[in-house]
Amino acid sequence: MKYLMLIYGNQEKWDSILGEAWPAEIAKQEAFNRKYSGTGELIGAYGLADAVNARLVRRQDGAPAVTDGPYLETKEYIASFYLVDCENAERAEQIAADMPWADQEPTEVWPILHESPTNP
């Protein structure tokens, strides 16, 4: 069963982590990623750019129409996401609880309902 794990945040929160502490925090995350790549359960780990770089794209008259945004109502937005393939929900929760910042910040765990094969 595959799961999407989401971590939320905002620039203010990242700024609050002191410059010196940052590499150590990143190293913790890398260690987590290595650990679960090793068990074969982590398919991918992705960190997102700030929301200021996000775009809203529509199609108008067959051409892309691009605007800035999304201007999120919420104070926090998706900062990183993880694709995990593991035995069951219990195991997914175990892995989420092992996220380096899970003692301070919750991780959202979403079961993936549908997927299409990428390699035909």
Among 76, 85, 93, 105, binds other proteins (CB under 8 A): 85
Pair type for strands 108-111 and 42-47: unpaired
Q: Whose Cβ is closer to other proteins: residue 40's or residue 64's?
A: 40
Length of the chain: 120
* Nearby residues of 43 by Cβ (< 8 Å), 6 or more positions away: 2, 83, 84, 85
Among 19, 23, 40, 64, binds other proteins (CB under 8 A): 40
CA–CA separation, 73 vs 51, rounded Å? 12
User: Least CB distance from residue 82 to other proteins, whole Å?
Assistant: 13
Is 62 near other proteins (CB under 8 A)? no
Question: Rule CB under 8 A: which residues touch other proteins?
Answer: 1, 37-41, 43-44, 85-87, 91, 111, 113-120
